[in-house]
Amino acid sequence: MKVAVLGAGAIGAYVGAALHRAGADVHLIARGPHLAAMRRHGVRVRSPRGDFTARAHATDDPAEVGPADYVFLGLKANSYAACGPLIRPLLHESTAVVAAQNGIPWWYFHRHGGPHDGRRIESVDPGGAVSAVLAPERAVGCVVYAATELEAPGVVRHLEGTRFSVGEPGRGVSDRCVRFSEAMRAGGLKCPVEPDLRDDIWVKLLGNISFNPISALSRATMAQMCRHGGTRRVIEIMMSETLAVARALGCEPGVSVERRLAGAERVGDHRTSTLQDLERGKPLELDVLLAAVVELAEITGVPVPTLRTVHALSDLLALRSAA
């Protein structure tokens, strides 16, 4: 199995290292000091489950890699529309693109069935720009429950979690999902193939849609947001509104707001990825987390006043931080 990891940052390099350990032919595509360090020393993983080093091929030139069986997409979702020149050399006619993104994916209504089948979500696929680069037929959905960070160039700190749920947009269990799952499990990760991944998408989104923008607006950690009465109540309402949208689309995430909050509080003083991006001057990945759900609420007629308010505030923050 040949796997190209496009965007081999903290999550991408961690997955690439695990797949390499399992015997897959792995190619890590990155740039800058991180690439230089991986070329010299491999990917060094530091984890409570045991440290290890994977010396997979690393490059900044996808043409050097050529077509792969799977492309694991570790880029932020707001980079997808511009990734055409990078991903095209990695594709053959049956290459699967495993998109490890937070939030609502561009393929959400692909083979969805029902009244919204094939509908494009403008906030995540503006003008079809993402679908033009990443054909929905290639997509294998992936919901990431692992937390990692780049401790230093070439050094991935694994904080918690090893689950990467995968699934087909058209539901069911496909051979390509099973093969990818087997390779991930051989590398020491959990990788269940979900018959309908959309439920998992909403479970993960319950946290991202609330904690990520609120953390950027307040500069607070997970535990601080949970322990402050005011922000905790706002987050509860945001989660409840999100559940209402999910159910209007036929999904049942299977987790209560109380349980989701309790799990988040246990994470402790962790800074969300959105807060980290804000502090580093990087673009904020909020369209797929928040704008998309507001758009879906409009489609389904579900009232989401708190989501709309937080979206307006965080959208202005994103515009100002990008200026």
- Greater model confidence, 116 or 323: 116
> Is the pLDDT confidence value at 64 over 90?
yes
Q: What residues contact residue 81 under an 8 Å CB cut-off, 6+ apart?
A: 126, 129, 130, 132, 133
The amino acid occupying position 112 is: H
Q: Could you give the CA distance from residue 238 to residue 14 in angstroms, rounded to a whole number?
A: 31
Looking at 2, 190, 204, 282, which residue is catalytic? 204
pLDDT (0 to 100) of residue 235: 96
Interval 4-48: pLDDT, tens: 999 999 999 999 999 999 999 999 999 999 999 999 999 999 999
CA–CA dist 288, 292 (Å, integer): 5
Q: Is 204 a catalytic residue?
A: yes
Residues in CB range of 75: below 8 A, 6 or more apart = 6, 7, 83
Nearest to 274 by CA among 239, 237, 315: 315
Phi/psi of residue 317, each to 5°? -60, -45
In 218-307 the beta strands, taken as DSSP E runs, fall at: none
Write the pLDDT tens digit of every residue in 110-126.
Answer: 999 999 999 999 999 99
